[in-house]
Amino acid sequence: MTPFRLLLVEDNANDAALVTAELEQAGYRPTTWRVETLEGLRGALAMDGWDLVLCDYRLPGFSALQVLAMLHELGRDVPLIVLSSQLSEEQAVTLMKAGARDCFSKDRLTRLGPAVARELEETRVRRERVRAEVDREILARASELLTASLEQEARLDQLVQLLVPRVADWSAFFLHDLERSGLKLVALAQPDSARRTLALTLHQRFPLEPQATGGPAYVLRTGTPELVPDVRERPEPIPADAAHPRGVEEMGLRSVVNVPLPGRDGALGVLSLGTLGERTLDRVDLALGQELARRTGLALENARLFQEAREAVRLRDEFLTVAAHELRTPLTTLRLQLGTLLQRSAAHHLDSEVVARLERSVRQVRRLGTLVEGLLDVSQLSSGELSLMPERFDLEELVAEVLERYQAEAASAGCELRQSPRRGLWGTWDRLRVDQAVGALISNAVKFGPGRPVEVDVGKVGGFARIQVRDRGIGLPADQVERIFERFGRAVSSHSYGGLGLGLYLTRRAAEAHGGRAWAEPGPEEGARFTLELPLEKETRE
């Protein structure tokens, strides 16, 4: 039979013995506490954990009605059955209205067994329902907390506060301290400040031993959750020092649950729950602890991965900056040397074939320079906005210059570059950035539309200057039109088409820095159409 805790309010020792005998007859051996005075009753009700109250109707100085009122006032969900020698129907109705679960005469104690069975069961179901509700609420709130913030310690602190006092009397998070290969107490909820101090002292004086056969260190090492319903029955103290169990005793520790926080490479830490005094923890609390630990472990793992990813991006950007910087000096030397050679070619009567090769080298070095610039721009952009140096110029003239520069590349790809008739389109923009942006669009069109013409239209739409570059190449799937503007974004495999995937990204950032836009769409029949819009009014965004 299930053990239960009975509060027997009865001033007559004979009647009390009769009740106990009757319960034994029905198969119950409860832990019974008998009180006969109002004072004794108050003392008993100050403790929680009663499963049933059996109460005489009339006692010296008080009645069952007062007991009911006290239970109600304390908010204790404990069923009360009134046992009386003589009870009028009217009195019974009053008692039932006041919350008594049952009333019957001491002459009919045979009813006691079934009534107790019924009340214990109903209470169990009712309490479980309440507890499930509390657990659900705690889990929901925990999930909110865990997703709300990436500040690890603050989160864990809020989480342990959530559990006290509803689930346990204290709660703590220990995290695996890799440097000291031990556990570090990172959050502790303990309503009583004296006990809190004691707990922190204990933790400092008795660091959790890696070889412990129980407790958080053991749970961390083995990954096995632990439920100790009564620490007094634990076979051996966790640290082999008598001061530790004394400290634990001083805290009044009763039940403990330790569950590992699961991580990808073993436990990340331990969630610890404990009760004090008469309150105990059971399998349901263990299950709640495990679910909480699972969610916490997941959130911590995500936070860690996020940190790692952020660090990787930072390192990459730093590397890009350093690499670009380092590449510039040799590039400068190369450019100047080739430039000098070309300038001297006439005086030195160089063969036209040699000159053609020199020119090709100049083009390639220039291209290398553009790539390096792109890398540097990207690393700069990840730390902020593009800074602009606006000046007034004719956009059509600039487009013509860019086309001229790409003429050789286009010719070798079999692309004819066509620009719409020029009428002059003046505005104030950053010449270098616009040059880069237009260059990226042309280079893109030539790369993906070899053997077909590339058309460039320059015109005005509303308050914007608009440059449209149209190719007749491999086209652009609708789901890729945004992706290609991302940093290192590409719509095709890097095995088939080279490039760093930076040109379009920089084009869009340059357009946005001017207060304009850049976008792509599949061409009307084939290929793709890229549009760059720049505001015609002066925009200065340093």
Partner 1 sequence: MSRPLLVVDDDTDLREALEEVLRDAGYTVMGAGNGQQALEVLRQAQTTPSLVLLDMMMPVMDGATFGRKMRAVDAWRDIPVLVFSASANARQVADEMGACGYLRKPVDVETLLKAVAANKAPEGA
Give bridge partners of residue 174 from the DSSP assignment: 185, 270
Minimum CB distance to partner 1 smaller for 56 or for 435: 435
Strand order, beta sheet including 269-276:
182-189, 170-177, 269-276, 253-261, 226-228
| Min dist. Cβ of residue 332 to partner 1 (A) | 4
**Cβ closer to partner 1: 340 or 407?**
340
The minimum distance between CB 362 and partner 1, in angstroms, equals: 8
Nearer to partner 1, 380 or 420 (CB): 380
Q: Which of residues 158-217 bind partner 1 (CB under 8 A)?
A: none
Q: How many CB atoms lie within 10 A of CB 237?
A: 18
Stretch binding partner 1 (CB under 8 A), from 230-238, 247-255, 291-299, 329-337: 329-337
For residue 365, CA distances in Å to 75, 340, 376, 403, 514 come to 84, 14, 17, 18, 29
Smaller CB distance to partner 1: residue 147 or 333? 333
CA–CA distance, 415 with 312 (Å, rounded to integer): 40
- Total binding residues toward partner 1, as defined by CB under 8 A: 23
Residue 321 vs 480, nearer CB to partner 1: 321
Pairing mode, if any, of strands 528-535 and 517-522? Answer: antiparallel
Integer Cα distance of 471 and 454 in angstroms: 5
Residue 303 engages partner 1 in binding (rule: CB under 8 A): no
The answer to the question of residue 376 lying near partner 1 (CB under 8 A) is yes
Q: Which distant-in-sequence residues (6+ apart) come within 8 Å of 491 by Cβ?
A: 476, 477, 480, 483, 484
Nearer to partner 1, 186 or 376 (CB): 376
Among 380, 382, 468, 480, binds partner 1 (CB under 8 A): 380
* Residue numbers 344-363 binding partner 1 by CB under 8 A: 344
Quick one: 231 or 320, whose CB is closer to partner 1?
320
Alpha helices (H) along 34-75: 38-46, 64-74
From 81, 372, 425, 445, residue interacting with partner 1 (rule: CB under 8 A): 372
Alpha helices, DSSP H, located in 164-242: 193-205, 215-222
Which tokens sit at 311?
Answer: 């660090």
336 binds partner 1 (CB under 8 A): yes
Of 234, 335, 405, 431, the one binding partner 1 (CB under 8 A) is 335
Rounded alpha-carbon distances, angstroms, from residue 441 to 389, 511, 541: 21, 12, 23
Where does this chain bind partner 1 (CB under 8 A)?
Answer: 321, 325-326, 328-337, 339-340, 343-344, 365-366, 369, 372, 376, 380
